[in-house]
A and B are shown apart, each in its own frame.
Chain A
Amino acid sequence: MKQLVILAVALLLSTGARGDGITVQKIAGDVRVRQGVTEVWNTVTTGDALRPHDTIRTGPDGTAVLVVHVEASGATKRVALPARVIVDMSDIRDLSQEDLMLKLAMEKVRASSDQWKNDGLHLPNAAVVHGEDRAAGPPAKENDGQVGQLLLNGVRVLFDNGFYATTVLRVLEVFRMYPAFSAHFDNRLLLAQAMERANLKGEALAEYGAMSHLEGLTLSQSRLVDARLEALRADRR
């Protein structure tokens, strides 16, 4: 009973936090939906209402059009999903500048814990724990890069539809899960441009600065980065 109450409250809160409704207006080909934290992809049909914790995936030949009804403004927005994308419904929303900044801060400090900092109780820690199991079994499998590409494709959809804040957050998450993608110029450029559009000038400047050190940049890529760096620096002045 208590779990039901908790879930109901959580849903109430999540709905209240977003307030937007998403409906599947049109689909073609292979389009599936995964609900919440389950691992099963279900089929979806036109007219289905999607919830914030749902994730939609289009196959190689699949496309979809979502209609987002923004409750606060009463506006309606269409989001077209091309083939080979994965998009979380919770990302189809505008985050406030403050929420984005806080989320980013927490990205940097992932271990953001409410550890009691001022209780003065800092027990000595031996720090070194011996006892590694040398008889450990086979290695684990790495994340599938194809899934990562689908996620990145979905991030581009977010960017193209103006959801810059969630674009930033999602790109960073993909980089964490699929580190190899962070070495690609286009992916980094997506992140930097999303930061600029999300009005994170300082972060964008840092990102362009880091991009300038990427290996194998072409001349045009270098010029693009330098131009953006100059523009952002001028903007700060």
Chain B
Amino acid sequence: MLSCTMVTMHPVPTSAQSLIDARALGLGAYFPLVRDSREFSANPAGLVNIRDWDLSLTTYINPGTASPGFVFHGMTLGKRFFGDEALALRYAPGSSIRFVIPPVLSLGDASTPQSNDREIAYDEQFAVAYAHRFLPGLSAGIGARLRREEVTDTRYQIVIRDTLSYPTATHATFTDHAWLLDASVMWQPFPALTVSAAGRNLVWWRTGDAGSPLADYALPTTPVAEAGFAYAPDARFLISGELATTGTGGAGVEWLVPFGLAVRGGVRWDTRVAPAFDAISFGIGWSYEFFAVDAGYLKYIDRQRHNGSSTVSTFDPALLTDLDIHPYALDRVALSARAVFGSTRQSLARIEEVTVFGSIYPASSEILAYKPVGAVRVRNISARPINARASLFVERFMDTPTESPATYIVPGAAADIPLMAVFNEQVKKLTALSVREGDVSVSASPAESYDDRSQTRLVIMGRNAWDGDSRTLRFFVTPDDPAVLRYSRDVLLEHGDSLRNVAGMLERFAKARVLINSFAGRLLYINDPKLTADYVQYPAETLQLRGGDCDDFTVCFAALLSSIGLSTAFVDVVPPGHPDNSHIFMLCDTGVEPRYGASIADNPKRYVVRRNAAGVETLWLPLETTVAARGFDEAWTAGAQEYFDDVEVGLGLVKGWVHIVDVN
């Protein structure tokens, strides 16, 4: 009688739940770390963290076996959609276990000589999962695995007919399919910590051959609960642990070294067998942008048990709660590759709020390249520090998005990033108020594409709108405008003879006199049109219209005087308690030194001693531009009187209700 009591496993296992991928294999405890399609069936809730399309492939070998060779283990494909939803599929032909019980041949009586061998196979080739993010840091997922259990009996029979006897073999196959439903939740209470819980085999549907030998080898469908955590005390170091009600568990560490490299290690234990300390694992990985490759090695401690075979008497299918990690598995080296495709990816930053500080005034839009037009509150939703940049783009009025300087944000924290804006010349052609959409985008390093986008509404005023701040009025002064240049030169040419006899030091003074006198009787004071903002005419417009109010005239004369090389300044008077009576006039630098003051006026109250741009003290003439229609002397007298009353007597400059703004 020949008998064999060994159960041989061919080929050796692989798995279903948690250690297909090489990164998972190296870490030992991967359950709380699922953040993409890798090992998604271990924790479907983690799928919400995938970027867009997510593909992974795994192969493995069993070192130490007689003929090791790479076996295609499987592939997973995940897709994120609608921002907070994700779906993944797995096809894993390598996720199978096959046990063979060799034949027992009995030579009995001649009428019924028979024997058989038996093959038991388990696999979980297909899995699907869906996940949803309920809140930032909180997600849940459900998954289903299709498990197949199959027993094949091979029966040998010696057929004796007359003088002829020969063996025959018949095969009887019994198959059972089961859909097993799992669910999990993942919670990130703060960026450094992730906790997760899962229930496996919560629901199952079984279809197949009832009452067959399958009953002796059926895998358990008992619900199993599992919990785990991952903690990253540092951006480059994390630890993880997991524990299941089956008595199995693991722990692991990962250290991110420079150049995209990672080093991993872990341990596994199984309290159902002795010794409980079951396996150790190691792994390395490298990632860059949207691509990662990993290698992992799982080595079992008990060489007697993990040798690829068992005895019939000790073989217990109930221990196969996990097709990957179980008491009969062999050592394994896995290699994995993962790639991310699509237009979106894992967001590192999220926009929480966009604030626009005020309207855009085209005349002074240049300063918005440096002075924020608004701010965007950005939160770092990744587990690592980021450098976030915000950019603003307004179609038609900007050539390219204007990007702000990088802002460092620690995990979980939020920061207000200023929004700058470099407008093109189109904005200065806007004749009336306009409301425009502004695209606000945020990117975080090392990413190149946008992490989040938002839109905000920008009110862009007409080109003539002024915010009332005398500091921005200078942006209306356009001394290089052809109309301004033409006018000033025409006037000076017309008075060329008289100007030629003027003392050199008084040349500027004389030119200013001629230029402003040219408006005598040809200028009309006209109030601003009723609009939402103060209205300022550009110099060319004032020259054409021959009318305006104090700011229009001041801007126009400042441009004309600047166009012939004279420095000018605005004198902005906002009487205390009477802001409605605010007024603006100007100062014009004659270039005359104070000791020559008598050359232009005997009364020193008619001029102001100021330093010019070169740091030299010179005499500046106060000019009330609204009376320029009555000639230079009237404008000078009125301006000097105002200046003396407001600045010297009223002390407006030292008390802060008079401001002088240099134009040039």
Contact = CB atoms under 8 A, between A and B. Distances in A.
Interface of A: 2-3, 5-7, 9-11, 13-14, 17-18, 34, 36-39, 52-53, 55, 90, 99, 102-103, 106, 109-116, 118-121, 129, 131, 133, 135-144, 147, 173, 176-179
B603 A143 contact: no
Interface in B491-516: 500-507
23 contacts: A3-B627, A6-B581, A7-B638, A11-B645, A14-B645, A38-B603, A55-B605, A99-B655, A103-B651, A106-B654, A110-B610, A111-B610, A112-B653, A113-B569, A119-B471, A121-B370, A136-B507, A139-B503, A139-B504, A140-B503, A142-B595, A143-B597, A143-B598
Given A37-B603, A110-B611, A140 B506 contact: yes
Given A38-B637, A113-B661, A177 B471 contact: no
Nearest to B607: A37
A105 to B, nearest CB: 8
A37 B371 contact: no
Contacts of A5: 581
Contacts of B603: 34, 37-39, 55
B596 A13 contact: no
Interface string B562-593: 00010001001101101001010000000010
B373 interface: no
B69 interface: no
A20 to B, nearest CB: 11
DSSP class of A's interface residues: helix, strand, loop or mixed? loop
Contacts of B164: none
Contacts of A52: 645, 649
Nearest to B598: A143
B583 A14 contact: no
Given A110-B617, A113-B569, 18 more contacts: A6-B642, A9-B578, A10-B650, A13-B650, A14-B645, A37-B605, A37-B644, A55-B605, A99-B651, A106-B654, A111-B613, A116-B661, A121-B370, A121-B371, A136-B504, A140-B504, A141-B598, A176-B609
Given A53-B641, A102-B654, A143-B597, A6 B583 contact: yes
The 8 A-B pairs of least Cβ separation, nearest first, read A120-B370, A136-B504, A102-B654, A111-B611, A140-B599, A37-B640, A10-B645, A14-B649
B369 interface: yes
Interface string B181-214: 0000000000000000000000000000000000
Contact of A147 (B503, B525, B598): B598
Contacts of A119: 367, 370-371, 471
Interface string B605-626: 1100111110101000000101
B531 interface: no
B604 A177 contact: yes
A135 to B, nearest CB: 8
B601 A39 contact: yes
B565 to A, nearest CB: 7
B646 interface: yes
Nearest to B499: A137
Nearest to B596: A140
Given A137-B503, A178-B595, A113 B662 contact: yes
B644 A36 contact: yes
Contacts of B646: 10, 13-14
**Which has the most chain B C-beta neighbours within 10 Å: A3, A18, A114?**
A114
A137 B501 contact: yes
A236 B127 CA distance: 89
B648 interface: yes
Contacts, number: 175
A17 to B, nearest CB: 5
A142 B550 contact: no
A116 B474 CA distance: 10
Contact of B594 (A109, A129, A177): A177
Nearest to A132: B504
A7 B650 CA distance: 13
A9 B661 CA distance: 22
Nearest to B472: A116
Given A37-B606, A90-B648, A106-B654, A114 B505 contact: no
B470 interface: yes
A3 B598 contact: no
A121 B367 contact: yes
B350 to A, nearest CB: 28
A154 B301 CA distance: 108
A185 to B, nearest CB: 20
A10 B602 CA distance: 23
B642 A7 contact: yes
A103 B646 CA distance: 14
B239 to A, nearest CB: 46
**Which has the most chain B C-beta neighbours within 10 Å: A5, A55, A116, A173?**
A116
Contacts of A11: 645
A5 B610 CA distance: 28
Contacts of A133: 504, 507
Interface string B154-170: 00000000000000000
Interface string B100-139: 0000000000000000000000000000000000000000
B366 interface: yes
Contacts of A13: 575-576, 645-646, 650, 652
A142 B506 CA distance: 12
B14 to A, nearest CB: 62
B659 interface: yes
A18 B649 contact: yes
Contacts of A103: 651, 654
Interface in B462-477: 470-472
B660 A114 contact: yes
A115 B661 contact: yes
Interface in B203-234: none
